[in-house]
């Protein structure tokens, strides 16, 4: 066989739309591996607290010891999930943790694909490479596991499937309550509205029993509450928070000319949450009810970190899976509004080389991603300004998602 025919066949293979999905997956796979390696050898700030707590727990010592710059703030039940990390040195444990997150990400993609039947490339774009998901490869703990737990808790109601048994829901809720209990707020409201009282009883019962059992020999529950009390002062306005109140406060403090906007922080907080709660109660569409529940989780929390916005791509996937019969242009607009941020814009550009029919996506995605690019521009110049731009963009994205959901509801009424 001549070299020309080999090159020709290779060219035909590369041009094949059928095989483009393979390249798409390989590309995302390699990028995700790079994230694992990159974050596995750096960004140890928060992870050291988790690793230290796991080590102290294994040594039968107090995992809530505050004699360190960063100390453990999660519920005692979180130790069930993280104690194996204490068996390794912090560097090895960090890489191991990122590898586990890597596996969990692909498990979540598989689960979403199985439940929604959305295109695999679409799930990768929105879920794996959206900014909130990518930040879970940093120093935080529980982000991806929490996303999986929330998907198991809320997707049956959003996609009109048979809900899990109460004890199974209690297991998945344990993952949320142990790592990020404030992210359970919207699910709690949703379960109340759906009259899932037995599920709520099992969820809080299992959480209480597990934590009491772990506190038999040591008062871990009281140590946890005490650490939270010490840490809670100023959380709503600290630089790392992404809540609406925090962002408005930081905008006001950054300039004397805009100091007056601080007075609008709490009124806006009340107004927005009241509107979301009203729609959550009012709508009879299960998927929209579930989406409103996740949106109010993000808008209601006074301390929301970047990784907590892992809920954004989950909302996007529920909306896209539930309303695929909308006109193509509306579905495309909805997808772009629901969290294809800086990273996804770049990766959409590369993937468009393999997906000829989607080249127009890049221009549209780039337009809505400008705030993220601005954030990146300021990253090495002014870190606080970078975070402020990024946090503001995420909150605006959440509000746009709410508006998109509201518009869908109006079209269905």
Segment 66-76, tens digit of pLDDT = 887 778 888 99
Per DSSP, 124 falls in state I
Residues ≥6 apart with Cβ < 8 Å to 394: 131, 132, 242, 306, 309, 312
Q: Which residues does the chain have with pLDDT short of 50?
A: 1-4, 10, 13-14, 16-19, 237, 337, 339-343, 345, 347-349, 351-369, 371-372
pLDDT of residue 125: 67
pLDDT of residue 104: 84
pLDDT of residue 178: 92
pLDDT of residue 156: 94
pLDDT of residue 134: 58
CB 371 within 8 A of CB 40: no
CB 379 within 8 A of CB 386: yes
pLDDT of residue 213: 93
Residues ≥6 apart with Cβ < 8 Å to 295: 186, 276, 311, 315, 398, 401, 402, 405
pLDDT of residue 13: 47
- Tokens (6 digits) for 90: 């912090």
Give how far Cα 122 sits from Cα of 143, 161, 332, 339, 353, Å.
21, 22, 11, 12, 15
Q: Tell me how crowded residue 413 is: count the other CB atoms within 10 A of its CB.
A: 9
Domain boundaries, the chain: 16-226+235-412
- Tokens (6 digits) for 163: 């809900």
What is the three-class DSSP state of 369? coil
Cα 266 to Cα 268: distance, rounded to the nearest angstrom: 5
Residue 83: exposure state from Cβ atoms within 10 A (0-12, 13-18, ≥19)? middle
pLDDT of residue 340: 47
pLDDT of residue 119: 76
- Tokens (6 digits) for 394: 């995420």
Cα 178 to Cα 199: distance, rounded to the nearest angstrom: 17
């Amino acid at each position: 066989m001549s070299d020309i025919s080999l090159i020709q066949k290779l060219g035909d293979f590369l041009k094949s739309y059928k095989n483009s999905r393979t390249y798409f997956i390989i590309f995302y796979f390699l990028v995700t591996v790079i994230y694992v390696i990159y974050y596995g050898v750096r960004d140890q700030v928060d992870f050291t607290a988790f690793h230290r707590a796991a080590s102290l727990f294994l040594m039968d010592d107090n995992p809530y010891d505050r004699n360190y710059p960063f100390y453990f703030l999660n519920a005692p039940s979180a130790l069930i999930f993280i104690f194996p990390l204490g068996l390794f040195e912090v560097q090895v444990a960090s890489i191991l943790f990122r590898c586990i997150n890597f596996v969990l990400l692909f498990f979540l993609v598989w689960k979403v694909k199985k439940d929604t039947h959305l295109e695999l490339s679409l799930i990768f774009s929105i879920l794996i490479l959206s900014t909130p998901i990518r930040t879970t490869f940093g120093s935080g703990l529980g982000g991806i596991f929490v996303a999986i737990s929330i998907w198991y808790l809320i997707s049956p109601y959003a996609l009109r499937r048979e809900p899990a048994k109460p004890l199974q829901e209690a297991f998945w809720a344990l993952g949320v309550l142990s790592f990020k209990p404030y992210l359970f707020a919207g699910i709690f409201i949703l379960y109340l509205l759906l009259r899932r009282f037995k599920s709520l009883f099992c969820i809080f019962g299992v959480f209480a029993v597990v934590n009491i059992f772990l506190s038999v020999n040591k008062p871990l529950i009281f140590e946890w509450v005490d650490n939270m009390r010490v840490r809670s002062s100023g959380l709503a306005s600290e630089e790392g928070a992404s809540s609406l109140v925090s962002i408005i406060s930081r905008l006001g403090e950054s300039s004397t000319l805009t100091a007056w906007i601080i007075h609008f922080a709490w009124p806006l907080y009340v107004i927005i949450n009241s509107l979301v709660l009203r729609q959550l109660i009012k709508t009879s569409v299960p998927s929209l009810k579930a989406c409103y529940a996740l949106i109010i989780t993000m808008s209601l929390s006074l301390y929301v970190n970047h990784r907590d916005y892992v809920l954004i791509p989950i909302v996007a996937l529920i909306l896209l899976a539930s309303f695929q019969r909308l006109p193509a242009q509306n579905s495309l607009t909805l997808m772009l509004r629901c969290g294809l941020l800086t990273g996804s814009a770049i990766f959409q550009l590369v993937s468009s080389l393999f997906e000829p029919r989607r080249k127009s996506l890049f221009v549209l995605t780039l337009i809505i991603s400008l705030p993220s690019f601005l954030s990146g521009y300021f990253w090495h110049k002014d870190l606080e300004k970078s975070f402020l731009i990024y946090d503001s963009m995420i909150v605006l994205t959440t509000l746009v998602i709410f508006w998109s959901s509201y518009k869908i509801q109006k079209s269905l009424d």
